[in-house]
Amino acid sequence: MSSAVSIEEATLRQKALEQLLLLLVIILQVWVFFGVPTDNNGDPNDYLLIARRLFSTGAPISFNRFIGYPLIIKILSLNLTHLNVLFFFQSTLFVAALVHFANAFALPSLLRCLLYLPGLIPSIAYLQKLIFPDGIILSLLLVFAAQLRKKNFFASGAITLILIAIKLVFVFVPAFLFAQWAIETKYFSKPKAYALFFVLLVCLVPIVYFIKPFPLYQSLVQVLIPADAGNAGTLPKILELSCGGEAKLVEVKDPAVLTRPSSDEFFMPLGEKTASDLGCTKDDVKKLQRRLILDTFLQDPFFELKKFSNHFVRAVFVFPQVAHVDHMLEEKYALALAHYNESFFYDDSQVRSWQEQKISPLVQPSLVLLGYSALYGTHYNGVIIKVILIVLLSPLIVWHYVKRPEFRSDATALLIFIVAYSFVISCFAFIYDRYVYVNLFLWMAIIASSSRRKRLATNAAS
């Protein structure tokens, strides 16, 4: 009897811990919503412009800025009049998606806590207060993984269509979903289904090269970090191109412009004004991009493959090239600190009262929390992720794959998705933190599932 009571008490304690972690995730979302300003440099302004012009002429929809997220902005904000509704929706969707994702794996409460832990990382919480599609993408991918776990292919397909409407980079997901369906219905064996899927995945590279070369131009030619600049010395000083059927030579006064990061997919590296002056169409610029991609690769294929491998491993194990969201949190704290004014919160007599008590006028808790979040995100995110994914995860995965065949069935789909997604963004994008956060949640699910298998095996043996 006492043993049964102790087990029940332990279960209740674990359930309480799970509820506490979920409550902390919600509190963090509430604090971000009410206490941290958004950031609207670069991408957010582009999305707002598209949303404003949607259903009219001149909406600059492109490969990088597709129609889905601007449409969500336009609808939820009532045509950009109530943008805070968008942030409220993103935060609410994230919490609901995280709960749905955690519950999909039928885990005990203690292991389910692992799936909530990434939601306590400040930069992941802040992602929902940004006018970037990545917050909604993260939530949708969590729901997608949950529905896939439940073998609900219809719902997974619907989410896939939404993801593609937001970012065309998710065109690989229907093939992944078909592979899962083929395995489940025994239409194909697992090795054959995954082999076909990876063939299609690799085929995306030449397809993108011929149809829309700019994503490959970003990943091969453009340089984001100094470590990628190994072949910068061989950049051409003269560009040979054909505009309107007429051959032209363009002197490159600053060769760095060829590799400098830019999202100008239609006119990079010439720029719209230069292209217009030369009479170059978008198709002419595409041909130039293709030639620069090929030249860059052929100059040093070993270096480019090494660079890709480095990006791929970083993406798989959630080590971004650029901690973009962390940087934005830091910037918000620096601005708040620089412009903090006691008179905004206290009148002169109150300030004197604080001073008479030899106490500095109290700083609002939101500013203190913002400071800790900026510090935590900058200095500790990478350390925590390295510990989780290398020290804890790698030996666990190797052991389970060797010793426990039933675990392979549970984890393979998640691992294949992590590999496929990381391959795609390594080929066609820079590795920003906001792109790879989803992999951290999926790794947590793998750790929790593997630990559950180990626990069940131990219980069966005893």
pLDDT digits (tens, 9 = 90+) for 124-142: 999 999 999 999 999 999 9
Q: Where are the beta strands (DSSP E) in 35-153?
A: none
The packing angle between helices 405-428 and 134-149, to 10°, is: 150
Residue 462 has a pLDDT of 45
Find where tokens 């909604």 sit: 136
Between CA 190 and CA 378 the distance in angstroms is 41
Quote the CA–CA distance of 365 and 380 in Å, as a whole number.
Answer: 21
More confident call, 260 vs 424: 424
Matching residue, tokens 């905004």? 344
Which pLDDT band holds residue 387 (cuts at 50, 70, 90)?
A: low
State whether residue 251 is helix, strand or coil. Answer: strand
pLDDT at 397: 57
Q: Between vectors from CA 154 to CA 51 and to CA 180, what angle results, nearest 5°?
A: 110
As a whole number of angstroms, the distance between CA 204 and CA 424 comes to: 8
Output the pLDDT for position 402.
Answer: 53
Q: In the predicted model, is pLDDT for residue 334 greater than 60?
A: yes
The residue ranges of every structural domain in the chain are 2-199+317-322+375-461, 217-314
CA distance 234 to 249: 18
pTM of the model: 0.88
Q: Is the pLDDT of residue 175 over 60?
A: yes
Residue with tokens 């949640």: 441
Instruction: Tell which residue, 160, 113, 105, has the closest CA to residue 19.
Output: 113
Indicate the average pLDDT of the chain: 84
Is pLDDT above 60 for 230?
no
The pLDDT-based confidence of 458 (bands split at 50, 70, 90) is very low
Q: Which string of DSSP letters, residue by residue, matches 328-394? A: HHHHHHHHHHHT--GGGTS-HHHHHHHHHTT-PPPPPHHHHHHHHHHHHHHHTHHHHHHIIIIIIIH
> What was the pLDDT predicted at 4?
58
Instruction: Give tens-digit pLDDT for 78-113.
Output: 999 999 999 999 999 999 999 999 999 888 888 888
